[in-house]
Chain A
Amino acid sequence: MKKSLRVLSLLIGLLAVFYFAVPSQSSVGSLDRIKERGLLLWGSDAEGGAPYVFPDPEHPDTLIGFEVDIADAIAREFGVNARQVQNAWDSLIPALERGDFDIAMNGIEITPQREAKIFFSIPYYVYTEQLAVGKDETRISDINDLSGMKVGTLSGAVAQDILMELGGVDVRTYSGQAEPYEDLALGRLDAVLLDLPIAAYYAKPNPKLKYAGPPVGEGFYGIAIRKEDENLKRAIDEAIGTLLETGELKRIYEKWDMWNETQEKLYLYAKGYERGVTLEEAKQAPIWRFFPMLLKGAGITILISVFSMALAIVLGLVLTLMRMYGRPPLSAVATSYIELYRGTPLLIQLYILYYGLPNVGIALSPIVAAFLGLGMNYAAYEAELYRAGISAIPKGQTEAALSLGMTQGTTLRRVILPQALRIALPGVTNDFIALFKDSSLVSIIAMVELTKTYNILAATTLRFFELGLIVAFLYLAMSYPLSLLARSLEERLKGKKR
């Protein structure tokens, strides 16, 4: 008992260290605070992928992409360093508003709807939408032939609005940009409409795919800034202006093979030439290069699982005691908690915790939200296991303890719980394995754990299969020892009563 308490407090201590190592939420904000901190935090989705922000196939633990270059250049103008903060693309704006980072830059199209919520910098890129189809496609020659066709695009992107306005199109939305092209190549889609830089990276080099028609729907990418950070917006505009004047921006776009006539609208000079990474190179990189990144993801998976389970074990016990021995208001609270958490999807609970709570002024960091979300969910299941354990103890045990003059509390602690927890133990171990796999769900709240790492790497390299096998193996390598432990506990409990 005492030993497990010590382990628990150690775990909580470690969590605290990890939590405080994450940049404090309250300090993000104005330009002054960025300079004071020496860091410009910019939000983007590395799973969105190339050529915007994606892991370098040469060194997968570093991010590259034209937006990485732009962020670095802007930070240099400010005299600070840039640090990317991972966040799902379709929730970049809410995350910006809740203060997870200073700015969001990830091919975010400037639209009136978005401008109602946040500031945009002056444009840093002129995008067009490019339609891509299968190599042998004959029915579709341009965007006007899409009626009745299955067309993939990114959820929330301007391309989606264009498709909707066309009418009669069977629009399929994705959250990553590699997947629609995968499905197109497999024949699951008839066409994909997405921003030209995306098409240029994924469709153009793919021999199974081809462009259909000219680019359509010109628009601008802008950097998103919170409404209250007006001085930051001015500074960003100034920095983009400087990068335009010095030709730095054009250099970046040429490096990524993204420069075209249209960009002349924005940029004044051009000089120097550097070539970016192509999809072909990403596909060819030796697989071992991705190991450090995958192992880091696995480490975070373990960390989250262990802490969450510790919370679930303790909170579950509190809930059971409240439910079984508490007076009516307490027991009703515990019962409702258990029913609520068991009766609603974990995914929804995580969303509410991470994106919902900021509306009432509670902004949790991703790791704390992940820890609380998983732990509070599993606590409901542990509580039920304990309850089953306690119910299985014969009434005579309580009576014998009471007849010896023990109080209710002593009886519970010394006689009932030690026996009940032994009964619950195999179930708890099994739940740990389940939680361990469920931890992949926290990738939706911006935690880059093993599954998210896989998504990011696979989207960049399109090596879904081999990376998938490696990741599956990593999960197995972590959960199998737990299964063995569960089984040996069960054996031991079957053999003896103690």
Chain B
Amino acid sequence: MITIRGLHKYYGENHLFRGIDLDVEKGQVVVLIGPSGSGKSTFLRCVNGLEYFQDGEVTVNGIKLHSINRKRPARADREAMRQVRLKVGMVFQQFNLFPHMTALENIIEAPMRVLKVEKNTAINTALALLRRVNVEHKAESYPDELSGGEQQRVAIARALAMKPEAMLFDEPTSSLDPEMVGEVLSVIRDLVNDGMTTVIATHVMEFAREVADTVVVFDKGEIVETGPPEEIFNTPKTDRTRAFLSRILKR
């Protein structure tokens, strides 16, 4: 479903990724963990074309993204990125709901504009999704009238409305007050149980352990270890994984 080969990413002089390989199978749940600044967000952004990379190849659902080494990507590259994004939904740490639209409008906007879904159909789908994420009573509310947990659940519904083949979550609970983390995680858990191909970057280790098929440990732009959660959390193979886990679990 998602294949990454030899990915190189520079931020100016900073050579962040020095050749990363990773495969995500259909229906698989991959959880990215690692210290702050290790490159989890950047990796997810490369996968759906929000960030260019300088070498390597990303293939999503048969669509290839190439490395881009000039200031403006060619039209074909931009279109390929858009095709990837059509197949991959993304949920951000900061929710990024459109503040000038109600929850419902946020959800129906892309299906209507991009997929040309008829308005009534789009609204019915949106209401069903809002029900699924338990915020159907806030359909007419604007983002600034919603709690953080509600906003993030609307953002998830918004991504699902595009009927994606895979979902990327970039620290979906990191901006939330502790009492709202649970409600968002339970929505993601339902999604995973329905068989959605999912990649999640998170600092919540219990959740990683619970939902992951594969855990990927990032450090300083490198993948230091990959494996099933029991292995990573109970018998980590590398010192860097151990160091990271001991630091984060002590907190």
A-side interface residues toward B, CB under 8 Å?
A: 327, 394, 396-397, 399-408, 410, 414-415, 418-419, 422, 496-498
CB pair A497–B159 under 8 Å, yes or no, is no
CB neighbours of B158 from chain A (8 A)? 404
CB neighbours of B57 from chain A (8 A)? none
CB neighbours of A402 from chain B (8 A)? 49-50, 82, 85
CB pair B99–A405 under 8 Å, yes or no, is no
Say which residue of A396, A406, A418 sits within 8 Å of B113 (CB atoms): A406
CB pair B114–A403 under 8 Å, yes or no, is no
CB pair B92–A404 under 8 Å, yes or no, is no
CB pair A399–B92 under 8 Å, yes or no, is yes
Instruction: Annotate B76-104 by CB proximity to A: 1 below 8 A, 0 otherwise.
Output: 00100010011011101010111110000
Count of inter-chain pairs, beta carbons less than 8 A: 72
A-side interface mostly? helix
CB neighbours of B144 from chain A (8 A)? 496-497
Say which residue of B72, B90, B110, B159 sits within 8 Å of A406 (CB atoms): B110
B-side interface residues toward A, CB under 8 Å?
A: 48-50, 72, 78, 82, 85-86, 88-90, 92, 94, 96-100, 109-110, 113-115, 142-144, 155, 158-159, 162
CB neighbours of B162 from chain A (8 A)? 404-405
CB pair A405–B85 under 8 Å, yes or no, is yes
29 CB < 8 A contacts A-B: A327-B72, A394-B94, A399-B50, A399-B90, A400-B90, A400-B97, A400-B98, A400-B155, A402-B50, A404-B114, A404-B158, A404-B159, A404-B162, A405-B110, A406-B110, A406-B113, A407-B82, A407-B114, A408-B78, A410-B113, A419-B98, A419-B99, A419-B100, A496-B144, A497-B100, A497-B142, A497-B143, A497-B144, A498-B100
Chain B CB count within 10 A is highest, among A403, A414, A497, A498, for: A403
A496–B85 alpha-carbon span in the complex (Å): 31
CB pair A497–B113 under 8 Å, yes or no, is no
A402–B86 alpha-carbon span in the complex (Å): 9
Say which residue of A405, A407, A415 sits within 8 Å of B98 (CB atoms): A415
A287–B15 alpha-carbon span in the complex (Å): 80
The 6 nearest A-B residue pairs measured at CB: A400-B96, A404-B110, A405-B86, A403-B90, A396-B96, A497-B99
CB neighbours of A399 from chain B (8 A)? 50, 90, 92, 96
A498 and chain B: residue at smallest CB distance: B100
CB pair B100–A418 under 8 Å, yes or no, is yes
Chain A CB count within 10 A is highest, among B92, B100, B144, for: B100
Given A397-B98, A403-B159, 10 extra CB contacts under 8 A: A394-B94, A396-B94, A399-B92, A400-B90, A400-B155, A402-B85, A404-B109, A404-B159, A407-B82, A410-B113
A408–B98 alpha-carbon span in the complex (Å): 16
A394–B85 alpha-carbon span in the complex (Å): 20
CB neighbours of A397 from chain B (8 A)? 96, 98
B82 and chain A: residue at smallest CB distance: A405
B79 and chain A: residue at smallest CB distance: A407
User: Shortest CB–CB separation between residue B103 and chain A, in angstroms?
Assistant: 13
Q: A400-B92, A403-B50 are in contact. Are A498 and B99 (CB under 8 A)?
A: yes
A397–B158 alpha-carbon span in the complex (Å): 13
B107 and chain A: residue at smallest CB distance: A404
User: Shortest CB–CB separation between residue B53 and chain A, in angstroms?
Assistant: 16
A407 and chain B: residue at smallest CB distance: B82
User: Shortest CB–CB separation between residue A418 and chain B, in angstroms?
Assistant: 5
A405–B162 alpha-carbon span in the complex (Å): 8
B87 and chain A: residue at smallest CB distance: A405
User: Shortest CB–CB separation between residue B86 and chain A, in angstroms?
Assistant: 4
User: Shortest CB–CB separation between residue B44 and chain A, in angstroms?
Assistant: 10
CB neighbours of B88 from chain A (8 A)? 403
CB pair A404–B85 under 8 Å, yes or no, is yes
